[in-house]
Structure 1
């Protein structure tokens, strides 16, 4: 009897948790749905009132106006180059550093790892002036290297990969060493493929951060042809209620966020696996 009551109580608890999760998901989706709906509304109507958002007419003019902008595809290309370059570089450096901290012994390893972790406590805004002066001295502004290189110093990526490598049994390395495999071959052929969920998660977060970054591209890229999508779209906005309109502004937000949403759809299973693996550990 007690066991059956416990099962019933557990089932009721699970239903409450599920209901709470659904409620939170709906609350999160309402603003997203509102932005999407407004992006299809004529600006003339929205300037009078947003109460007609759920009623026709709807239009694609806001999106055609974005595509008609002369620089939008250049800005989109710049954002892709920067985001993909930063993601690839971060995965390579974080994987190598994580493997080094997790699998090798060298003097000062623990102290150096603590120094890397301290980098997570330093806000990016505190480094902007020094970073700007450094890249100015190197005459690297208005170029892809200046937009990509600062993002490669990813302390969180090193920490994540280090912890993931530590969770992999060392017996795998020892078995490969018995087959006369080199240290790099063990890393590249044996251990690294086991970290794909963590790499996918790190890649998604890095891509998202790079894609949405506004402050550093605003400072480093002063020429319109080097604007990223966030800076380029912002440069076209003045007082949206009096010029382009609210619908056009919402369409810009949807257009800027769509690539990230598509990337997440392709890699969501790896993120779920990584989070589940972390929970088990």
Structure 2
């Protein structure tokens, strides 16, 4: 079916299956958007009122004027961009070291990195919490960003990609008098743009959707990320302005994810297909 889809030769039954699948996946999003466009008072009796007008943008206007949602949006943006930049820098440097340099215990260290893929974040949450409390980093941007820089998958991903780049390029650059840093910066790094784009997208999405660590580290409402802030609003539903307002917050929080996906959809598809490396 996948081959037929690429060639544009789907049968009517195949097209019907695609349409039904797409409709099932879009239904929750459509329902959330319709709820967000309804007056909260109209949804008190029954949520089926979202299926017919009138519709209003009052819930979205209220987000900017009467809540901390914009602050949560700023926090999520800073944390996601900070983690993405940090992971790209560290993973690229580590990947180059593992793929190109010979140093003592290189294989052992790489095995330790791979073991890190199997260690869940919950297993180290207590010492991590105590460490950041001792450093007085809770309720701060460094406290939210730094744990996300531990990215064994990023190191493994960049190492694998750089191993596929011919070593003759390094040798040619060094014969021309280039240093190790110049070779990495001007020769190897530009060739890893596809891998870096893929890693950046998945790191950004993971940081944006992260809930576990921000829930623990951010105890002040002004330092909440969107995931924590919206969850707090849902858990205190009786104190919120209503279902329509809650759905407007959820839709608003999803907009950056849609923008990232639209811009980088090719890299995401390649990564899911296993062709990015």
- Residue from 262, 267, 279 that aligns with 2:275: 279
- Residue from 249, 258, 263 that aligns with 1:261: 258
Moved more, 236-245 or 119-128: 236-245
The residue number in structure 2 matching 1:135 is 132
- Residue from 139, 143, 147 that aligns with 2:144: 147
- Residue from 222, 246, 263 that aligns with 1:225: 222
Distance 1:57 1:155, change over 3 A: same
* Counterpart Cα distance in 2 of 1:17 and 1:274: 25
Deviating beyond 6 angstroms after TM superposition, the runs of 4 or more aligned structure 1 residues are 10-13
CA RMSD, 1 decimal: 2.5
- TM-score with structure 2 length normalisation? 0.88
Deviations 1:194-224 (A, max 9, x none): 1111111111111111111122112111222
**SS of the counterpart of 2:52?**
coil
* Counterpart Cα distance in 1 of 2:97 and 2:31: 47
**SS of the counterpart of 1:262?**
helix
- Residue from 79, 82, 85 that aligns with 1:88: 85
Structure 2 matches for 1:1-281, cutoff 5 A? 15=11, 20-240=17-237, 243-274=240-271, 278-279=274-275
List gaps (5 residues or longer) in structure 2.
none
List gaps (5 residues or longer) in structure 1.
1-7
- TM-score with structure 1 length normalisation? 0.87
Distance 1:137 1:241, change over 3 A: closer
* Counterpart Cα distance in 1 of 2:103 and 2:16: 51
**SS of the counterpart of 2:50?**
coil
Count of residue correspondences? 272
Distance 1:240 1:223, change over 3 A: closer
Deviations 1:9-61 (A, max 9, x none): x9898547666555433322221222122211222222222323221111112
Kindly state the Cα deviation for residue 178 of structure 1 after the two structures are TM-superposed. Answer: 2.1
Moved more, 214-223 or 238-247: 238-247
Deviations 1:230-250 (A, max 9, x none): 223333344537842221221
* Counterpart Cα distance in 2 of 1:201 and 1:12: 27
